[in-house]
Structure 1
């Protein structure tokens, strides 16, 4: 219908009753008034306490109901309620007054009779019209209905429809939108459809959901449905308000999609729900899953707590609920019948070949999309990765896939396994370098630093400001496995060795990464604070990837807090699929529940502050190894450093390995076996093992007595890599207790045997 067309004649407002029904109802009500009037006149004179109590309670209840109605903003409804209550209030007032007054007076009989007579005469005025509800055969989707002419323009012809438009206009929740093209389905039912029209150039607000529309017309939320208008933009939205249909359908079994919408509206998005204000705006139900598009109402940020939502939607295992969000206004909730990551395939060479963006396919996401992980970032250069997982979580399989991908993609793999090579036996002999043991891990890192120093020196001489793969050097990634055995709180290694390793980590972050050297930390439990420069590691980890497999709850929460900023609710990964629901069922039946498949390879992958639920490709173990992974390794030649770099790496590794073994064999007081420490090598070799704080203090005192503050300055307190003042004080106290130094005076220290004559 165009704006110039005349609106067709509209049907009259439906009458609530037929004439016969109206007369019959009026006769019944008048008869009730006669009986009530006689009871109010005679009852007070009788000795009937129950009758007296009932009359007083009826009056009080009527007053309380009217008082409750005063809280409503619907003035018309309040006026109607007052009109209906007048006969009841009049008769109960007469009854109560007669009970209170002594004796029998003429007004005690006349007043209730007159009140009943007036109520009967005023019946056509005081009795509000009702509306007879009749279920109709309404279409399931509003948008599929034929367009209807605008009905709100002719107020005189359609007062009911005009009243609906006025209610919409008067509501604060509807903003600047208008209710147009209103069409009532039947003369005998209130059900109607319409178009919500936003101002020109604006979209219909997202806050106008089913709940808001239901509040405007005071109908159940289940009576409201919204849909897009075919061929129109977001400035128009179709709405159906059908309380008659909702009442008729309330006694039938709901379809799955209807039940999902109802549960979400009532248990999740409603006020008092598990995620109030997070409204379902679209959904689809497939054979094996249901997908829900959620939008937060203004001005809220998206918040989708995974476990509470699973509980609200009657999902017994929260692992079947997957949530992704933008971190701002929208999110997607996917609910599965069976966990989608139980069955995954093995990797292929194509999966592990680095693309133009430096990414490989490491596994699959819960919805079947590939889970990609970068080995290199063309814009940022070499990256820092963190791989964490408890025994049996699939950490080693993940690392083997990454190392095989590096070999296939021409990336030099420099690997060290602090668990004497037991964690990654498949990699030994199949990568450029493989160091086994704690000392080898430290030496490997030191040798990688030497290569980074060499590249920095050559780049400075040539005026190069960045790194290009294979021009002139290849990309190399350093993988340090079982790092928790070196830097973890439970690690049984000397403190100075830890300090040397963390110093080299910080050094490599500055030089190695800038010149084509990536760094990968792996362990059963890694806290960012253990990795030297925690802030730099955290920042670089967000630019790279964090693979977080099954670990304890505290570790999960710590990593999520460090690496996720999109609001995704990160929950720990169980050891078995379906174990939570099975354990509860076993506790009830008293029978042992069968274990589901292991979740090895399941992980949260954090990239750029976002979290993805994924699983690494399957690897089949035979005779304690993974032949499929070995075949992937051997599908390409082993990449290597340039000859000059290879010489630097081998020499630096040999020197650092000897020094590391000496340091591990000694104690932290004398800095190594026999008090020996490695000398600082020339540039391009491995960074030297640090001289112990004890030796530095003794060296400072060799020149004569010094005060505490002079000793602190001499050993480097206040410098970037210097010790803390408290560490110096503690070392002085230990040396004094051991008899190696003396105190000639308060605050002054000297070597044992020093005399004033010296």
Structure 2
């Protein structure tokens, strides 16, 4: 076997000296050229022509390899061919201007830049730019020479190897020369390798073919030489066909290691025919919150949008379990976030941190628990522009539905809402009962809560129309008044006794309640339309228009319901009942059983426009310690509040002639704000009726009554009575008694005040 000829030794400063000469040649020529006589100028022109031809051939890789190898500094000439070629051109310009035009020509070239803007100035500027780029390209050679070489040239000589310790780059280059580029025995003769970088994980380099030839070395050839899998070797095109860049991974790269998210995605998920074929991962990062990795899923060029994968299928493709997978669609339909965990941080749960998390921010959002991403999971209680926000909570028994309602109710309580609570089962959540202005427990009383809440809604609708009130703003006199409706199918289901009336009320509230400060928090085990009154308006306004919290449900949920777009890929049926529970295949009496740990409170949650992700509710066994029983808010603006128990027993459905059997009068409901159901007597009506009953039958005299007596006759008390009196006086429906021009305190009569001017 032959080896490359040994390079001639040279001083350490040789490369620096050549760099200085190359940089200074144009300037020196420009200064000397005007002083050359005719013979000297001719000789200089001949010498320059030969040098220019040599540098041009060198720049175009047209010099024979043997010639370069025999030159004393052939490797430097070849390595610096670009700056040397530029220096040759600028030197030729200086020589030509100095010898042909003399001092004026040299001055125009070298000092013309001072005359900008002008044609000579522009030419001078271009010349100086070209002159300046040469030392910039050679800047690494003007300082002290490096102690060690960063690359290994092809053909490391035996003499050099004997005097210097071999580096990894040397060994790679030596092996490459022996088996691939050797001019006599190599498999791809003269296809030389320059090693650029080396590390324990990989090395990189550049393969260069002889002038006029293309690189033909294959990954298989390199694989055989360096004993690495061909898929670990990457070849990329260089600046031309005779150049290719090579990366040889010494360990399996991430995209080929199925234990990494990138490798598993490429091998099983995005492969042709795979679950998400044609997709790729970007911005892969370690996720310290889960011990795994998180990445951005991006649709490939042949896909218009990402498909929505089934979570079980995605977990299977990634060779893990659904509880260790998080997939979050983004608003961009071509992007999603995938999270593959080694442990789910939600398993340990998070204790309720305090009431501060239930105080809404300026946009009405509260925190209901931690998300698997580490970000807090939030829902919106109210929107500054749209008003209060509905919430739908769905989950089977034992999934944490009661605890979720308790948190939402506590949020409303601490923020001054007047809670109307309907619990057809009667014992679902004692803590909410303590917070409610009116709790209705059991089928009939729960229906009564819906009726009371409906009367409040109608009062606010009429008041808003009368006073042209917009953008509901809560106050102590007019607070938020949410309806918390648990086990909704007990009143809205197909066989429910009160279905028609309950549907009528919830449909009205779903459409009108948000702008009146009266949201619906509706909870049920399943979300099918037939269990929500069969009304699309209820589904659209609550299910799609509000916050959605999906706890564990049965497997039929996903197939029967179209989830909102931001819940794509989230199937509540994929939430298992326990974090673990698979038992050993063979019973061992010496091994204690692994009791399953329930996934209580685990859910997918989001408000409209937000990203739905796996989260877990704050762990709060009992909200009672946080309830201020001395400050239970009541709807002070509802004039009928003192008669609520009577109203709770009376149906609000319109008469049969004003409604059809299907919609319970809903066509009348939405024809305008003057809704058909007869309203019970208000406090104003009762006061007027009481004064009419004691008035003079002939209408001659005005009978005045003390306000306390009027209150007893009307059956209205407290602030409701006082407010009604004020409204009636202002409307001239009643007046205060006066004697001798002075008002008699506390006495009122029917009708407007008499006109004393006629007397």
TM-score interval w.r.t. the shorter chain?
A: 0.5 to 0.7
Q: Is the 8 A contact 1:557 1:570 kept in 2?
A: no
Shift of 1:255: 10
Cα displacement string for residues 441-494 of structure 1 (whole angstroms, at most 9, x for unaligned residues): 2221121111111112222222223322228621111011111222224x4x43
Name the CA shift for 1:159/1:281 in 2 (closer, same or farther; >3 Å).
Answer: farther
In structure 2, the residue matched to 1:278 is: 279
In structure 1, the residue matched to 2:411 is: 405
Q: Is the 8 A contact 1:223 1:241 kept in 2?
A: no
Q: Is the 8 A contact 1:407 1:636 kept in 2?
A: no
In structure 2, the residue matched to 1:603 is: 603
Cα displacement string for residues 537-590 of structure 1 (whole angstroms, at most 9, x for unaligned residues): 32443231111111101124434x2333563242524454433xx42x534668
Q: Is the 8 A contact 2:190 2:209 kept in 1?
A: no
Q: SS at the partner of 1:508? A: helix
Shift of 1:400: 0.8
Q: For residues 507-656 of structure 1, what are the structure 2 equivalents within 5 Å?
A: 507-532=508-533, 533-559=535-561, 561-565=562-566, 567-579=568-580, 582-583=581-582, 585-587=583-585, 594-608=594-608, 610-620=611-621, 626=622, 629-634=623-628, 637-642=631-636, 644-645=637-638, 647-656=639-648
Q: For residues 145-544 of structure 1, what are the structure 2 equivalents within 5 Å?
A: 159-160=213-214, 220-224=230-234, 242=246, 245-246=248-249, 248-249=250-251, 259-286=260-287, 288-300=291-303, 301-303=305-307, 305=309, 306-315=311-320, 317-326=321-330, 328-347=333-352, 348-420=354-426, 422-470=427-475, 473-489=478-494, 491=495, 493-494=496-497, 497-532=498-533, 533-544=535-546
Q: SS at the partner of 2:648? A: helix
Q: How far, CA to CA, are the matches of 2:469 and 2:652 in structure 1? A: 34
In structure 2, the residue matched to 1:118 is: none
Q: How far, CA to CA, are the matches of 1:275 and 1:364 in structure 2? A: 29
Name the CA shift for 1:341/1:548 in 2 (closer, same or farther; >3 Å).
Answer: same
Structure 1 unaligned runs (5+)? 26-126, 168-183, 192-218, 227-238, 621-625, 664-668, 670-678, 687-758
Structure 2 unaligned runs (5+)? 1-81, 87-129, 139-150, 156-172, 237-242, 656-660, 662-675, 684-759
In structure 2, the residue matched to 1:657 is: 649
Q: How far, CA to CA, are the matches of 1:241 and 1:318 in structure 2? A: 41
Cα displacement string for residues 276-328 of structure 1 (whole angstroms, at most 9, x for unaligned residues): 1221222223552222222111242123623333223322x221111112151
In structure 1, the residue matched to 2:198 is: 138
Name the CA shift for 1:615/1:158 in 2 (closer, same or farther; >3 Å).
Answer: farther
Q: Is the 8 A contact 1:12 1:158 kept in 2?
A: no
Cα displacement string for residues 609-636 of structure 1 (whole angstroms, at most 9, x for unaligned residues): 642211100123xxxxx2xx11122388
Q: How far, CA to CA, are the matches of 1:20 and 1:131 in structure 2? A: 5
Q: SS at the partner of 1:505? A: helix
In structure 2, the residue matched to 1:87 is: none
Q: How far, CA to CA, are the matches of 1:325 and 1:19 in structure 2? A: 50
Name the CA shift for 1:240/1:501 in 2 (closer, same or farther; >3 Å).
Answer: farther
Shift of 1:511: 3.5
Shift of 1:415: 0.6
- TM-score, L = length of structure 2: 0.55
Q: Is the 8 A contact 2:270 2:278 kept in 1?
A: yes
Q: How far, CA to CA, are the matches of 1:391 and 1:428 in structure 2? A: 20
Name the CA shift for 1:477/1:283 in 2 (closer, same or farther; >3 Å).
Answer: same
Q: Is the 8 A contact 1:538 1:563 kept in 2?
A: no
Q: Is the 8 A contact 1:408 1:636 kept in 2?
A: no
Q: Is the 8 A contact 1:488 1:530 kept in 2?
A: yes
Q: SS at the partner of 2:447? A: helix
Q: How far, CA to CA, are the matches of 2:400 and 2:259 in structure 1? A: 40
Q: SS at the partner of 1:393? A: coil
Name the CA shift for 1:562/1:480 in 2 (closer, same or farther; >3 Å).
Answer: same
Q: Is the 8 A contact 1:542 1:607 kept in 2?
A: no
- TM-score, L = length of structure 1: 0.55
Q: How far, CA to CA, are the matches of 1:19 and 1:224 in structure 2? A: 17
Q: How far, CA to CA, are the matches of 2:434 and 2:254 in structure 1? A: 64
Q: SS at the partner of 1:412? A: coil
Q: Is the 8 A contact 2:511 2:541 kept in 1?
A: no
Question: Which of the pair has more CA radius of gyration?
Answer: 2
Q: SS at the partner of 2:358? A: coil
Q: How far, CA to CA, are the matches of 1:449 and 1:365 in structure 2? A: 36
Name the CA shift for 1:571/1:541 in 2 (closer, same or farther; >3 Å).
Answer: closer
Backbone CA RMSD of aligned residues: 4.6
Shift of 1:518: 0.6
Shift of 1:419: 0.6
Q: How far, CA to CA, are the matches of 1:136 and 1:365 in structure 2? A: 45
Name the CA shift for 1:618/1:241 in 2 (closer, same or farther; >3 Å).
Answer: farther
Q: SS at the partner of 2:359? A: coil
Q: SS at the partner of 1:546? A: strand
Name the CA shift for 1:529/1:547 in 2 (closer, same or farther; >3 Å).
Answer: same
